[in-house]
C-alpha cells in the first residue's frame, strides 16, 4: 500500500492533505523521515505522525438488528448479505458471529476480531442465545421438560443440551439454547412435532437487542459490552 493511502485510511484526511503532510516532513517511516507520498509500505512498517504511531481502524464490534431477507454469508448469488446494511470501511474484513437464517430477524453481532467471535460461538463456551419463536401449533407444557432434558434432532447422534423454554402463549415462546447447531431452534420444535413460523433472536449472552434499533439499523458495542464476553 502507498504511504499516502495508509495515512488517509488511518486519519480520514484526503489524499492531497496526506500528501502535503508527508512532503512537509511530518511522517516517519521506521524511525526515518519519509517525504515520498508514493512510498510503498508493508504491514510490519511503523509509521509515526507527530511521534504517534498510525494504525488502521482497530477491532470493530457491531450489533445489527437483522431484518428478514438477508443472508449472513459474505456473498450469495441470490440474496443481499447483511454486510450491505453497514456503512463501514473495509467491509471485507468483517464477519458475523455465528449465523441467523435468511428469514430470522434480531440480534446479530459482526466483528473483525476472530478471537472475540470464537469466544461467543465456540461450543465450549456455551454462550446463551434467546429466541422468540412463533409456532404453527399450540405448544404443550410438556415441551418445557423435553427441551430441558434435550431432544434428538433428525440426523444427529447426540441430544441437544438442556434448553429453557418459556411459554408466552400457546403459539409464542422464548427459547434459550446454549449451543448453535444448524437451524437448531426450528429443528428442536420440529423434533416435538411443531413448526416455527417466525423466529427472532432477542439476546446473545448478556446482550439484549436494543428496542431503539429498527430492523436494518446497527450500532457499535461499547468497550464495556465487548469485555462482557472476555
Ligand atoms: N435456529 C434456527 O433455526 N434458525 C436461526 O436462524 C437461528 C437459530
Res 14 pLDDT > 90:
no
Ligand 1: atom nearest CA of 104 is 6
CA–CA gap between residue 196 and residue 47 (Å, rounded): 54
Distance CA 111, CA 97 (A): 7
Residues 86-113: what's their mean pLDDT? Answer: 94
Stretch (H or E) spanning 203:
strand 196-204
Active-site position among 9, 101, 103, 113 = 101
Distance 100 CA to ligand 1 centre (A): 6
Q: What is the DSSP letter of 73?
A: S
Residue 7 pLDDT more than 70?
A: yes
Query: Is residue 43 scored above 80 in pLDDT?
Result: no
Hey, what domains does the chain have and what are their CATH numbers?
A: 3-53 (3.10.290.10), 61-123+207-227 (3.30.70.580), 128-204 (3.30.70.1560)
pLDDT at residue number 13: 78
Across the range 212-217, mean pLDDT stands at 97
SS3 assignment, position 163: coil
Nearest to 201 by CA among 85, 108, 96: 108
The average confidence (pLDDT) of the chain is 94
Element counts in the chain: helices (H) and strands (E): 6, 15
Closest CA to 202 of 77, 108, 103, 73: 108
pTM: 0.79
Residue 224 Cα to ligand 1 middle (Å): 27
Return the best residue to mutate from 184, 196, 203 for the ligand 1 pocket (most ligand atoms within 8 A of CB).
184
pLDDT of residue 89: 73
Question: What are the tens digits of pLDDT across the range 179-210?
Answer: 999 999 999 999 999 999 999 999 999 999 99
Residue 230: predicted pLDDT: 78
Tell me which residue has its CA closest to atom 2 in ligand 1: 183
With cut-offs at 50, 70 and 90, classify the pLDDT of residue 55.
confident
Expressed in angstroms and rounded, the spacing between residue 73 Cα and the centre of ligand 1 is 14
Give the mutation target among 71, 73, 100 for probing the ligand 1 site: most ligand atoms within 8 A of CB.
100
184 lines ligand 1 (CB under 6 A): yes
Rounded Cα distance between 175 and 147, Å, is 9
pLDDT exceeding 90 applies to what percent of the chain? 80
CB of 84 within 8 A of CB of 124? no
pLDDT of residue 57: 66
Helix or strand or coil: residue 216?
A: coil
Residue 171 C-alpha to ligand 1 middle, in angstroms? 17
State yes or no: is 101 an active-site residue.
yes
Contact by Cβ (8 Å): 171, 139: yes
What confidence tier does 6 reach under pLDDT thresholds 50, 70, 90? confident
Whole-number pLDDT of residue 205: 97
Q: Ligand 1: does its nearest atom lie under 6 Å from the Cβ of 133?
A: no
Ligand 1 atom closest to the Cα of residue 188 is 3
3-state helix, strand, coil in the chain (%, to 5): 25, 30, 45
Of 99, 160, 181, 199, best ligand 1 pocket probe by most atoms within 8 Å of the beta carbon: 199
- pLDDT, position 126: 92
| Average pLDDT of the residues in 167-183 | 97
Amino acid at each position: 500500500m502507498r504511504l499516502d493511502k495508509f495515512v488517509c485510511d488511518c486519519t480520514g484526511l484526503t489524499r492531497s492533505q496526506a500528501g502535503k503532510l508527508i512532503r512537509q516532513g511530518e511522517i516517519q517511516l521506521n524511525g526515518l523521515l519519509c517525504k515520498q507520498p508514493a512510498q510503498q509500505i508493508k504491514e510490519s512498517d511503523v509509521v509515526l505522525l507527530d511521534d504517534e504511531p498510525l494504525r488502521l481502524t482497530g477491532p470493530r464490534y457491531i450489533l445489527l438488528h437483522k431484518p428478514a431477507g438477508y443472508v449472513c454469508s459474505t456473498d450469495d448469488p441470490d440474496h443481499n448479505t447483511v454486510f450491505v446494511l453497514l456503512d463501514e470501511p473495509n467491509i471485507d474484513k468483517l464477519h458475523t458471529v455465528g449465523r441467523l437464517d435468511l428469514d430470522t430477524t434480531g440480534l446479530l453481532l459482526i466483528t473483525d476480531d476472530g478471537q472475540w467471535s470464537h469466544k461467543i460461538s465456540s461450543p465450549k463456551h456455551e454462550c446463551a442465545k434467546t429466541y422468540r419463536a412463533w409456532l404453527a401449533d399450540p405448544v404443550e407444557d410438556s415441551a418445557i421438560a423435553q427441551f430441558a432434558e434435550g431432544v434428538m434432532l433428525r440426523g444427529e447422534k447426540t441430544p441437544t443440551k438442556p434448553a429453557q423454554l418459556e411459554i408466552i402463549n400457546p403459539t409464542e415462546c422464548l427459547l434459550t439454547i446454549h449451543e448453535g447447531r444448524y437451524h437448531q431452534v426450528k429443528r428442536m420444535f420440529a423434533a416435538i412435532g411443531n413448526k416455527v413460523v417466525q423466529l427472532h433472536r432477542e439476546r446473545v449472552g448478556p446482550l439484549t437487542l436494543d428496542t431503539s434499533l429498527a430492523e436494518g439499523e446497527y450500532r457499535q458495542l461499547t468497550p464495556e459490552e465487548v469485555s462482557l464476553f472476555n
